[in-house]
A and B are shown apart, each in its own frame.
Chain A
Amino acid sequence: MLACHARILLSATVRCGALANIVPEALETAFEVLKANEPGMQTARLHIIHETLVLACGVCKREFTPENGSPYAPCPFCGHEFFHDLRSGRELILEQLQVSEEQEE
């Protein structure tokens, strides 16, 4: 078991899906507000990885990323417009933290 006694956060990486209901600018603003109240976060940076929308056609089952980012886009393979399944795009994941370590064991 790795125990990290970090005191300083250097960066946080968050992965946001296109349909995660997240406004990146709002997330960045919230991060800045949080930083102001946390001594160990003063120089921390927020990295946002944007996850594109991936749909699977309800008819031909092939996966595609709509060019316009809309879940209502027709399937580019068979043209079908309805009932696509969402394969990815709703993620809101804290992927990585970069910290300066004071002690490790």
Chain B
Amino acid sequence: MEIEVGRSLLESNDRLAANLSANFARHGVLVLNLISSPGAGKTSLLEKTLIALAPSLRMAVIEGDLQTDNDARRVAASGAQAVQINTHGGCHLDSKLIMDVLPQFDLKKLDVLFIENVGNLVCPVEFNCGEDHKIALLSVTEGDDKPEKYPQLFNLASVLLLNKTDLLPHVDFDMNRAVRFATTVNRNLTVFPVCCRGKGKGLQPWYDWLIAQSAAKRAKAGV
């Protein structure tokens, strides 16, 4: 007997993601899924962002890592709530994992929820976590060919942050090449070159984008 199924293998995750998305929309919480290679600077970006925007936005973080709560402790030092998910070998976060920790947050008191995904340019792209936007982070030390090698992330991301620009004089990274390939697969991609070390550099456009996106999300929810 043949049974025609014709359903996505990711359907159960997509269904949970839709529930999460509806919940976030009801509360006017902007949710951003940060995706990059390990070491690209996701946690450093969050540390800078959480401190700089603390007067303007109420923010919290879900930290995804295979092991340790090192990153959760780093971002919690900024004063923001941070909840760690250890995947114990899993290479990505999914909606079930987000749903399990969500009761620890008071969505009524949040404007922005960051999901720092497990460091990986492939698998996290496939698993929607109910986010409004995927945010891609690429450091200049990784090479300018990464958008060409991993087009899916850059195809689906709304923002690309090119990090560690302070190291540009020391590495063979062609900014134009990286941006060209990333925008070839996504004409709507917004690109911010940034540096998250020291006092930081180039971060203001990213902050402005966040504030505008949060305001739009809250306005839509009527909160």
Q: Give the interface of A toward B (CB within 8 A).
A: 4, 6, 14, 19-21, 58, 71-72, 81-84, 86, 90-101, 104
Q: Give the interface of B toward A (CB within 8 A).
A: 1-10, 122-123, 125-126, 148, 151-152, 155, 180-181, 183-185, 187
Complex partner residue of B126 from A21, A58, A82, A93, CB under 8 angstroms = A21
Verify B123–A21 contact, CB threshold 8 A.
yes
How far is B12's CA from A95's CA once the two chains are assembled, in angstroms? Answer: 16
> Contacts A19-B151, A72-B151, A92-B10: A83 and B3 contacting too (C-beta < 8 A)?
no
Considering only CB atoms, which chain B residue lies closest to A98 in the complex?
Answer: B2
How far is B1's CA from A100's CA once the two chains are assembled, in angstroms? Answer: 6
How far is B2's CA from A104's CA once the two chains are assembled, in angstroms? Answer: 13
Complex partner residue of A83 from B1, B5, B6, B187, CB under 8 angstroms = B187
> Which residues from B are CB-within-8-Å of A72?
148, 151, 181, 184-185
Verify B184–A93 contact, CB threshold 8 A.
no
Complex partner residue of B183 from A20, A82, A98, CB under 8 angstroms = A82
Can you list 20 A-B pairs, Cβ within 8 angstroms, ordered by A? A4-B1, A4-B3, A19-B151, A21-B122, A21-B152, A58-B187, A71-B184, A81-B184, A82-B184, A83-B183, A83-B187, A84-B184, A86-B185, A90-B152, A94-B5, A94-B8, A97-B5, A98-B3, A100-B1, A104-B1
